[in-house]
C-alpha cells in the first residue's frame, strides 16, 4: 500500500508535469508571417545547421611561414 509521502510526491510530480505541458506553446492560431521583416528570419534548415556555406574567396599566394631549423 502507498504511504502518504509517496502519494504526495506523485501528486506534486503529476501537477508539475501538467503545468509544464499546459504552459508551453504559442497561443492563438498558427500563421505564416508575410511581413517583410519575416523574410530576414532563419528558416528551419538554417536553424539546424547554423554554419552558412559562403562562396570561397580566391586564394592569394601567401609567403610560407618561417620554420625554425
The phi-psi region of residue 64 (left if phi > 0; otherwise alpha if psi is between -120 and 50; otherwise beta) is beta
- Cα(43)–Cα(12) distance, integer angstroms: 38
Spell 16-30 as b/e; 16+ CB within 10 A means b: eeeeeeeeeeeeeee
11-58, pLDDT tens digit by residue? 999 999 988 888 776 677 777 777 777 777 777 788 887 676 555 555
Alpha-carbon torsion 56, 57, 58, 61, what sign?
negative
Within 8 A by CB and 6+ apart from 41, the residues are 33
> Can you give the pLDDT at residue 54?
59
Amino acid at each position: 500500500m502507498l504511504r502518504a509521502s509517496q502519494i504526495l510526491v506523485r501528486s506534486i510530480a503529476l501537477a508539475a508535469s501538467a503545468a509544464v505541458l499546459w504552459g508551453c506553446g504559442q497561443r492563438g492560431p498558427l500563421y505564416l508571417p508575410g511581413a517583410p521583416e519575416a523574410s530576414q528570419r532563419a528558416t528551419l534548415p538554417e536553424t539546424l545547421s547554423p554554419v552558412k556555406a559562403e562562396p570561397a574567396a580566391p586564394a592569394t599566394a601567401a609567403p610560407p611561414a618561417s620554420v625554425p631549423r
